[in-house]
Structure 1
Amino acid sequence: MIYTVTVATGHQLFSGTDDYIFLTLVGSEGCSERTLLDKPLYDDLERNAVDSYSVNVLNDIGEIMFMRLEKCKYLSQDEWYCRYVTIKPPTGESKVFPCYRWITDDMEIEIRDGKARLPLDDHNEVAKQHRYRELQRRQKIFRWKEWQPGFPHSIDANVSTDLPRDVQFDMTKVVDFAYNYSKVIGNLYLNKFMDMFQTSWSDFSDIEQIFVGISNTISEYLMQHWQEDFMFGYQFLNGTNPVIFEKCNRLPAKFPVTNEMVETSLERKLTLEEEIKEGNIYLADYKILDGVPANATDPSTVQYLSAPICLLYNNSMKKLVPIAIQLKQEPGPENPIFLPTDTKYDWLLAKMWVKSSDYQIHQAVTHLLRTHLISEVFGIAMYRQLPAVHPLFKLLVPHVRFTIAINTKAREELICDCGLFDKINSSGGGGHVYLVQHAMKDLTYQSFCFPEAIKMRGVESRESLPYYHYRDDALKVWDAVLGFVTDVVNIYYIDDEAVQTDNELQAFMEDVFIHGLRADNSSGFPESVTTIQRLTEYLTMIIFTASCQHAAVNFGQYDWCSWIPNTPPTMRCPPPSEKGTVNMQYIMESLPDRGRSCWHLGAVWALSQYQDNELYLGMYPDEYFIEQPVKEAMEKFRTNLQEITRLIAERNKDMELPYYYACPDRIPNSVAV
């Protein structure tokens, strides 16, 4: 019997091979002979190639359960990326075997056909054993490791080259990541400032010199308006960290703001207490920074941290503005409450301290912990507990693309000892580790479910906060993802019992709970799942976190953090302990020196860049799913995302400050930068 076998090689650089590739078909009644796939006199299995072969099977092997691919060295060992294989029997329809894997060294892999199956769908012992063997192999190479005490566990790899090949960057991504940082150094003419590394800027106009190379509408607008209170408040809504403020239902005792202090800022002829009852007062409390040691890695430069509290007022124009700032947690005569009625420089420096503190929490908690590290946990658990034939593996794998690799690179270069964090930020030198450890204690499942997170903070009302575009856009994306996940889950799980008896799913969730949340029951993260509804919410949370939430807090970093006075990554003078002492010289001596400013600018530029080969939300070029109902669900999902994109574009077209960080056409599928 002659089977026609078609093999598709990947499009990545160096994805073709000259090695020997052998194929074995494994059926319910037996196996084919081990067959060499080779076209004499032809260069087959090259990059982007689709090659067909005839395979002679001597005996009836029954229904094909899986196929085995084996690579053996020819002249020199090389890698091969196989996209998929199709097998057409002498009679009947072709079967597609999705692969999308690197085959390295003298390696053998076994691949099921593309039909997704739950464990209960596999009745044949051959199929059951295949699932078991695949997970056994994966669990040997995807191992958990504690990088820092109290952190979510990460992959057991010290450097990127230690990673399993299938989760490493492809060559294009490697080149782009290294290129972006060097590009900004050249384009912004930063090299010329390195000779004056530890000198202070003379004034704000002096800092503008480093922006001559790249035009950016938002950062240029920010340079013109950053000192204004409305711009300060706007960034709580739509800047890089739009998750920190919450409705104030009662002033904390540690923040003794009186009505007399702020009455000139209140516009409705109400007292402060009445404004609080009306829901017009909000609070940003940076208490997590209290006690965090400031960066001391450079003995020649003293750096400082503080834990401010900022009171925000939703004024009669429905715009958020600051009305009181206390720079430390404990009230007292050496910790004054700064007000808009204070001197220009007192008030300006108080706001700068808030923004610097906001930046530390954004980088370590909002960005690193709550998108990067938690998404890596989902990725590792997926590879360890869900075989490739499982529908949830097929659903989730596009949303962990490059995540393990980017986090490993971060542990190599950014958040390690003497990494970029230590060079730039006042929370470097171990402060960022402390922040993550303490944030883990307050990590809750509810805070990752976006609609619930918004309600927890009391910021769900569009009537009260009409310009909170992050909330409005992200809610639309959450609903679209939820609809898509619901459609896919309902295809495979016929009832709640099917969820409860899926031992692979339950093992996945247990792995996340134990290694991601450190088995902390107070987090509310489920250790198992018993209903379809709960499962769809959980999967939506994973996809939303890796895509929309990461995009919203990552890709605006250059826009909002490049203008150093607006978002100082470090402060070199302590916060003022009395009013009336701040002048321009003190502010410039507080700001980062020239060298750290340049390092910071290069970092936020590189972190804000989309990759040339980016895959945006709803784009699934690797066809893990072959079933028509899932393809229809994907098309419906894309249609919904396109409509959200249209609505956001329509709103943005007349805005001076367009908001697009949660726009689907700018949301990558995964945490990959």
Structure 2
Amino acid sequence: MAEYKLEITTGDLQYAGTSDYIYVTLFGTEGQSERTLMDNYGFDFQTGAPGSYTVKTSSSLGKLLLVKVEKDQYLCLPENEWYFSKMVVTTPEGDVILYPCYRWIGRGEMVELRGGRAMKAVEDDHPLLIEHRKKELMLKKSLFQWKIMAEGLPHIDSFNDVSELPAEISYSDSRTADLNYSRKKIGIELKVKGLQGSTAQWESIEDIKKIFWFKKTTMSEYVADHWMEDDFYGYQFLNGVNPGVIKRCSELPTNFPVTEEMVKPFLEEGSSLQKEMEKGNMFLYDQKKMDGIPPAAYNGEPLHVTSGLCLLNVNPENKLMPIAIQLNQQPSEKNPIFLPSDPETDWLLAKMFIKNADCMDHGSVHHLMRTHFLAEVFAVAALHSFPVIHPMYKLLFPHFRHTIHASITGRLILFGPDGALSNSSLGFDGIMELMRRDLSEMTYSSLCLPENIAARGLESIPNFYYRDDGLKLWNIIQSFVKAVVEHYYPSDCEVHRDTELQDWISEVFTHGFLGNKASGFPAAFHTVEEVVKFTTMVIFTTTVQHAAVHSGQYDYSSWAPNGSLLLRKPPPTTKGQSSMKTVLESLPNVGETVRLAAFAWLLSDRYSGYIPLGTYPEERFDEPEPKQMIKDFQAELSCLSEAITTRNSHLELPYTYLDPAEIENSVSI
């Protein structure tokens, strides 16, 4: 007689336990056990509790291959799903084997689990395992399918509603409840104040501060007080929600005829425009990719979108200051270059229209497409290509656990009739065209932060905390990924032989980057080094980069004058004709403003189930080596978090978005 000791753990999620019968069957190289009821005295499978059980066989089953777990009805009790976390089996020979599950199981449902070390396809040598792997991938390919959202954009998952999603990638009930509670709380406050749906125009800038009573952050209040200041305007191009747009300017574009005379008063005494460019102190914001996109209509009339240029200078106090703005690409008498010495509201409006374009670029391109859409591509391709026993699945899955759910809900929020991007100055069609243009020009190097920073010439610009923290995080993630990948792929030959790995990168290239070879994205992997770099980029994009462009949305965007997706008036074409009344008339009306602020609140809240970067509550790796690598990864992140906290304690404006403790482990909202 042989005895197998089983420890079965129920998740600690709300309502994770079950009163149903749970049966287990073990399969080994020398046979299988009987279907055995897991039943102890008292209540089994309670929320958050492990239970110990025994399966007896007449003799050893040899090497364990699979565990089958079944859930059947107990008496006439109503259905309650069970969240099955993991099973640990101790064999008669003393082997201890982990079987991760981490998913909900319904009544009448059966799951077959692989245990032990992560395995690539070429390492499976038993017919039962080969057949199990084949069936799992066939099921995944039928479940996770691609569809085209719009021509020229990354493909998306085929699910039409979150109710169709498998439980293992859906939000928990508690997270969904949190989101719904936030929506209701926001809606009630705006209704009580009579702001929701109001078509009235703001009568004063101060009135905008009264939108929310209780949702205030240190940064959002600072923004409301300092939004008109030039040094804060420049600061936001470095450490605001869209830090990926400016580049060093060593030569002015021919369509931006800034002269020495125009900007000399704003440069260091004794310096010149040419000298400042040679010293590396001049930077350019150029929204040329927006040029020529038709704007949306508003009350039957077309809005105005400025594909403008903004020249910035690092002054002797190391502050990045805007010194010249042209609101459209082609210079003309009706497209003057605005300067800080112009009438106050002219200069203010020029900055606001540049910010309007930047907000649309941020929301659609740098946030939605370059983090959410790409994360969705990485996720669907991985779910398509890897069985759960694959080492790359174990490494990657925690970084897109809720990504598909977030993408489906996000598309509704952003592109629905009341969606933030649908109601921007560009409107739905214009936003789609902007994203199409960006994807057609997107390069692999632009998603790899060290190369991105170098290409934009931003290696030495001062007070650039996004760069400083981001590069450290890139290196920490790369070190972790390198250790894990090289453990499972000791040679380039192993990369060539892994057909599932090649399927993944092929799907990403085809469905994410639409087969564009000029982009530099790999269509196949040839070396271990290529796998390390691409996987680093994937994890960085779905964690660090998403945090950089996501976490500060309420801080910077809830105050409409600082940056709005919608401006209602045309931009100034001549100087000296504006007033504060023009500024108020240009802003969205009351109802539009509060809707955008509510949207920023909803996205920026932290909800139940939040998992910080490097935290892996689901135990998926069974080998000691990757477990130690995870501990080393966490230790490096903890040290960086302490260093960032220390640095921030000395800053007037702490930059917290890339503190590892503040970065979510996946795109989850």
TM-score tier after normalising by the smaller chain length: over 0.9
Change (3 A) 1:30 1:196: closer
Q: After superposition, where does 1:480-519 map in structure 2 within 5 Å?
A: 480-519=476-515
Cα distance in structure 2, aligned partners of 1:533 and 1:456: 21
Partner of 2:22: 21
Instruction: Note the C-alpha offset of 1:300.
Output: 6.7
SS of the residue 2:101 aligns to: strand
1:566 and 2:566 correspond: no
Instruction: Note the C-alpha offset of 1:474.
Output: 0.6
Cα distance in structure 1, aligned partners of 2:516 and 2:406: 26
Partner of 2:535: 539
Counterpart code for 1:310 = C
Cα distance in structure 1, aligned partners of 2:538 and 2:192: 41
Partner of 1:444: 443
Instruction: Note the C-alpha offset of 1:497.
Output: 1.1
Cα distance in structure 2, aligned partners of 1:546 and 1:143: 21
Deviations 1:623-656 (A, max 9, x none): 1012111121111111111111111111110211
Instruction: Note the C-alpha offset of 1:193.
Output: 3.7
Partner of 2:323: 323
Are 1:32 and 1:59, in contact at CA under 8 Å, matched by a contact in 2? Answer: no
Are 1:101 and 1:166, in contact at CA under 8 Å, matched by a contact in 2? Answer: yes
Cα distance in structure 2, aligned partners of 1:160 and 1:234: 39
Are 1:488 and 1:630, in contact at CA under 8 Å, matched by a contact in 2? Answer: yes
Change (3 A) 1:286 1:193: farther
Q: After superposition, where does 1:83-162 map in structure 2 within 5 Å?
A: 83-162=85-164
Change (3 A) 1:553 1:126: same
Change (3 A) 1:196 1:539: closer
Q: After superposition, where does 1:488-637 map in structure 2 within 5 Å?
A: 488-637=484-633
Cα distance in structure 1, aligned partners of 2:181 and 2:196: 23
Q: After superposition, where does 1:40-439 map in structure 2 within 5 Å?
A: 42-74=42-74, 75=76, 76-186=78-188, 191-194=192-195, 197-296=198-297, 299=299, 303-423=303-423, 425-439=424-438
Deviations 1:553-607 (A, max 9, x none): 1111111111111112210101111111111111110011111111111111111
SS of the residue 2:193 aligns to: helix
TM-score normalised over the length of structure 2: 0.96
List structure 1 runs of 4+ shifted beyond 4 angstroms.
none
Cα distance in structure 2, aligned partners of 1:226 and 1:252: 28
Deviations 1:287-312 (A, max 9, x none): 2222333333x637864322111111
Cα distance in structure 1, aligned partners of 2:149 and 2:155: 7
Counterpart code for 1:504 = E
Counterpart code for 2:246 = F
Counterpart code for 2:587 = L
Are 2:80 and 2:107, in contact at CA under 8 Å, matched by a contact in 1? Answer: yes
Change (3 A) 1:87 1:522: same
Cα distance in structure 2, aligned partners of 1:320 and 1:181: 37
Are 1:193 and 1:598, in contact at CA under 8 Å, matched by a contact in 2? Answer: no
Counterpart code for 2:439 = M
Partner of 2:457: 458
Are 1:247 and 1:459, in contact at CA under 8 Å, matched by a contact in 2? Answer: yes
Cα distance in structure 1, aligned partners of 2:129 and 2:162: 33
Deviates more, 1:162-171 or 1:121-130: 121-130
Instruction: Note the C-alpha offset of 1:505.
Output: 0.7
Instruction: Note the C-alpha offset of 1:445.
Output: 1.0
Deviations 1:220-251 (A, max 9, x none): 22222211110110000100101110011221
Deviations 1:475-502 (A, max 9, x none): 1111111111111112211111111211
Instruction: Note the C-alpha offset of 1:548.
Output: 0.7
Instruction: Note the C-alpha offset of 1:409.
Output: 0.8
SS of the residue 2:285 aligns to: strand
Cα distance in structure 1, aligned partners of 2:364 and 2:212: 26
Are 1:190 and 1:210, in contact at CA under 8 Å, matched by a contact in 2? Answer: no
SS of the residue 1:471 aligns to: helix
Are 2:421 and 2:565, in contact at CA under 8 Å, matched by a contact in 1? Answer: no
Partner of 1:32: 33
Counterpart code for 2:105 = I
Counterpart code for 2:92 = P
Q: List gaps (5 residues or longer) in structure 1.
A: none
Deviates more, 1:398-407 or 1:279-288: 279-288
Cα distance in structure 1, aligned partners of 2:534 and 2:491: 17
Instruction: Note the C-alpha offset of 1:315.
Output: 1.4
Cα distance in structure 2, aligned partners of 1:182 and 1:355: 30
Instruction: Note the C-alpha offset of 1:216.
Output: 1.9
SS of the residue 2:645 aligns to: helix
Deviates more, 1:412-421 or 1:259-268: 412-421
Are 1:470 and 1:552, in contact at CA under 8 Å, matched by a contact in 2? Answer: yes
SS of the residue 2:12 aligns to: coil
Cα distance in structure 2, aligned partners of 1:572 and 1:387: 51
Are 1:67 and 1:111, in contact at CA under 8 Å, matched by a contact in 2? Answer: yes
Give the percent of matched residue pairs that are identical in Structure 1 and Structure 2.
Answer: 39
Are 1:233 and 1:322, in contact at CA under 8 Å, matched by a contact in 2? Answer: yes
Instruction: Note the C-alpha offset of 1:62.
Output: 1.9
Are 2:196 and 2:595, in contact at CA under 8 Å, matched by a contact in 1? Answer: no
SS of the residue 1:61 aligns to: coil
Cα distance in structure 1, aligned partners of 2:536 and 2:547: 16
Deviations 1:326-358 (A, max 9, x none): 111111111111111111110011001111111
Question: What RMSD over aligned residues (CA atoms) do the two structures have, in Å?
Answer: 1.8
SS of the residue 1:565 aligns to: helix
Cα distance in structure 2, aligned partners of 1:192 and 1:183: 13
Deviations 1:312-331 (A, max 9, x none): 11112221111111111111
Change (3 A) 1:177 1:428: farther
Deviations 1:22-73 (A, max 9, x none): 222111122222223334x632122212122222223543211111122334
SS of the residue 2:416 aligns to: coil
Are 2:97 and 2:622, in contact at CA under 8 Å, matched by a contact in 1? Answer: no
Instruction: Note the C-alpha offset of 1:418.
Output: 4.2
TM-score normalised over the length of structure 1: 0.95
Are 1:312 and 1:321, in contact at CA under 8 Å, matched by a contact in 2? Answer: yes
Counterpart code for 2:148 = E
Are 2:197 and 2:592, in contact at CA under 8 Å, matched by a contact in 1? Answer: no
Instruction: Note the C-alpha offset of 1:385.
Output: 0.7
